Structure 1
Amino acid sequence: MKKVGILVFVGALSLGSNAFSQTGGSTNTKPTVVFVHGLWADGSSWSKVINPLVDKGYKVISVQNPTTSLADDVTATTRAIDRADGDVILVGHSWGGSVITEAGADPRVKALVYIAAFAPDKGETAGSLAESVAPTILGGFVQNANGYLTLSREGVAKGFAGDLTPKEQDVVYAVQQPASKSVFGDVGVNAAWRTKPSWYVVASEDNAINPELEKRMAQRANAKTTILKSSHVAMLSKPNEVLDVILDAATSVSK
């Protein structure tokens, strides 16, 4: 059986350390799952779904995006695709959706999974998409330091991860990666969801990306859609449900 790689993105949150990678042994024929985080996050935002996937025999890679530009994040994601050594599924959260939409044009990418994520068309930006609907409260908690943006601790609690425990919110706040404000205007040249099968998790209680925008992007991409009663960080607050979506994509591509 051909070795398959799965790439999982993006999005606006991640907790933890450097990239995770695990192998299930030399006889492992299951796809690789590669996670791509978003803004104000790091690769550990996928921590609650990494171990269950490894336990099921999947290899996992979690990208560490610099969040300095779309091009820089796509480069980091492409390195993960290369590590996967086979076909790939990209799964991204939040801003990570923009990254997988661009990087997903790689012929090795066979499917996309969006978790409360941007899914721009050619010529669209994260900023233009956000401005196309009613604003969320998140913008009121963004702090600017020399052109790089972070979230306040109150912003994590109210606009980003409201359904996590205070201790979990402390970790989200502590590990966030400062983001260049320029990323909101970066324009991609690819819209991989137009040619690749897609899955989408809508977070109905999202205060970072308007849930109505999420639904609209999911419908436009003809994505298999799951709606969860969740904050922006569905992979942390509803990990079992998000895991089911990832596994559905993995098994569908593997058939």
Structure 2
Amino acid sequence: MKTMKFYSVLLIALIVAFSSHAQSAASEKPAIIFVHGIWADGTSWTDQITGLQAKGYPVISVQNPVTSLAADVAATQRAIDMAKGKVILVGHSWGGFVITQAGNDPKVIGLVYVAAYAPEIGETVPELQKNAPGTELSKYFVPAGDFVYLSEAGVKAAFANDLPVKERKVIYATQTPASKTVFGDKSGTPAWKQKPSWYIVAKGDKTINPDLERFMAKRIKAKTTELESGHVVMIAQPKAVLRIIEEAASAKN
């Protein structure tokens, strides 16, 4: 009798422990990894970082070297490796190229494209841009050795055209220039073919044509939201962008 009672108590304890572990795993929030684009940096996501941290999400904002697609993917892969559990990748602009590649990691459960490129295998930036009329962004390129900066006039006219002067000046001062060669780097196998995707179209974008964004969002079968914003959507519409990231993070995968 005592033996049966002992095993009954042990069984109950095991059931409780298993249930507790299962509930803990189910409630564990995925890590959110942000990937900035060209002429931006990891602080572009400050509003989303602080908002997510306040809700208990682990967050990493990658600082891309923008020397090559491979180098940026490697930087993002290091962040994925640091994450303890599942991962949502969020990419802006050129960062879309990066998350399209890095998203193939098994830990990644969703992709959020924020006015971002979503390439097919073998595509480069110029090839993607053929799918819609171009913008005047290239008028504002400032070569510096093997890199390309964006002029202050370009930040104002095409990159952050809907932001206050103070914020535009910060973007200009903190921009990460692009190696001249990244525009010719070809995308590999796209993660969006296997992973659920969300896409934010910036309706007032003067860096990437909004029609090109719509084309890419449709092609990858993303859940799409259009926002009244210029290219730097995460700064112009921080709450709306945060809401979509949380939607992706809470989706059943």
SS of alignment partner, residue 60 of structure 2 = strand
Superposed CA offset, 1:118-141 (max 9, x none):
000001112211233211021111
What is the match of residue 124 of structure 1?
123
Instruction: Name the structure 2 match of 1:43.
Output: 42
1-structure distance, mates of 2:82, 2:25: 12
> In 2, distance between residues paired with 1:106 and 1:59?
18
TM-score, with length taken from structure 1: 0.88
1:246 and 1:47 map into 2 onto residues whose CA distance is 14
Q: 1:3 deviation in Å?
A: 5.8
Deviations 1:76-107 (A, max 9, x none): 00000001122211110000000000111111
The residue matched to 2:181 in structure 1 has which SS?
helix
Measure how far apart 1:188 and its partner are.
Answer: 2.1
**Partner residue of 2:17?**
none
Alignment of 1:132-151 (within 5 A): 132-151=131-150
Q: 2:59 maps to what in 1? A: 60
What number of residue pairs does the alignment pair up?
Answer: 231
Pairwise CA RMSD: 1.4
Q: Which runs of 5 or more residues in structure 1 are unaligned?
A: 5-27
**Equivalents in 1 of 2:126, 2:182: separation in Å?**
8
**Which stretch shows the higher mean deviation, 79-88 or 112-121?**
79-88
Higher-Rg member (1/2): 2
Equivalent-residue separation in structure 2 for 1:69 and 1:165 (angstroms): 31
Letter in 2 for 1:230: S
SS in structure 2 at match of 1:81: helix
Contact 2:65/2:176, CA 8 A, preserved across alignment? yes
The answer (yes or no) to whether the contact 1:201–1:228 under 8 Å persists in 2 is: yes
Q: Is the 8 A contact 2:131 2:215 kept in 1?
A: no
- Once residues 115 and 30 of structure 1 are traced to their aligned partners in structure 2, the CA distance between those partners, rounded to angstroms, is 21
In the alignment, residue 63 of structure 1 is paired with which amino acid? V
Any conservation in 2 of the 1:3–1:87 contact (CA below 8 Å)? no
1:186 deviates by 0.4
Distance 1:131 1:145, change over 3 A: farther
Structure 1 position 219, deviation (Å): 0.5
Is 2:79 the partner of 1:80?
yes
**Higher alpha-carbon deviation: 132-141 or 202-211:** 132-141
Q: C-alpha displacement at 1:240, in angstroms?
A: 0.5
Identity of matched residues, %: 54
With normalisation by structure 2, the TM-score equals: 0.88
1:29 Cα shift?
2.6
CA distance in structure 1 between the aligned counterparts of 2:118 and 2:28, rounded to whole angstroms: 30
DSSP 3-state at the match of 1:169: helix
Structure 2 residue runs without a partner (length 5+): 1-21
Q: Deviations over 1:44-92 (max 9, x none)?
A: 0001111111111111100000000000000000000001122211110
